[in-house]
Amino acid sequence: MNTDPIADYLTRVRNAIKANHRIVEIPSSKIKQEITKVLYDKGYIQSYKFDDSGVQGTIKIALKYNPNTKQPAIVKLERVSKPGLRKYTGTENMPRVLNGLGVAILSTSKGVMTEKEAKSLNVGGEVLCYVY
């Protein structure tokens, strides 16, 4: 049993990057699948595959590295809203990550998206994590 599955997801990706792994497998859930899609759309991961066989299913993520310097595309993954202290934001005070170079991933009433997409749709929500 896991009390914070999103923190577990981020920790597994973070640990795989530190160990220079190419692929990381994570137990699947709908919110994790949506976060994975956002990371792929923003270019932080190379590819992903959802495997629904079994009880829960898995997400296989191919991590992205710079071919010349071998540096990972993801420098930092930071969990913001935690089960003990939820962080919400409205459209008027959306977080800016690394002065616009990073991405804040939000869970809104219209789905999981970045802070820029949420601002353009004029919706607020729970700030899940920062990625840069």
Mean pLDDT (the chain) is 95
For the domain covering 5-63, report its CATH number: 3.30.1370.30
Domain boundaries, the chain: 5-63, 77-131
Return the pLDDT at 68.
Answer: 92
- Say which amino acid occupies 96: R
- 111 Cβ neighbours under 8 A, 6+ residues apart: 34
For domain 77-131, the CATH class is alpha beta
109 contacts 124 by C-beta, under 8 angstroms: no
From first to last of its 132 residues, the chain has per-residue pLDDT tens of 788 999 999 999 999 999 999 999 999 999 999 999 999 999 999 999 999 988 889 999 999 999 999 899 999 999 999 999 999 999 999 999 999 899 999 999 999 999 999 999 999 999 999 999
Residue 61, token pair as written in the block: 């993520």
131 contacts 74 by C-beta, under 8 angstroms: yes
Return the pLDDT at 78.
Answer: 96
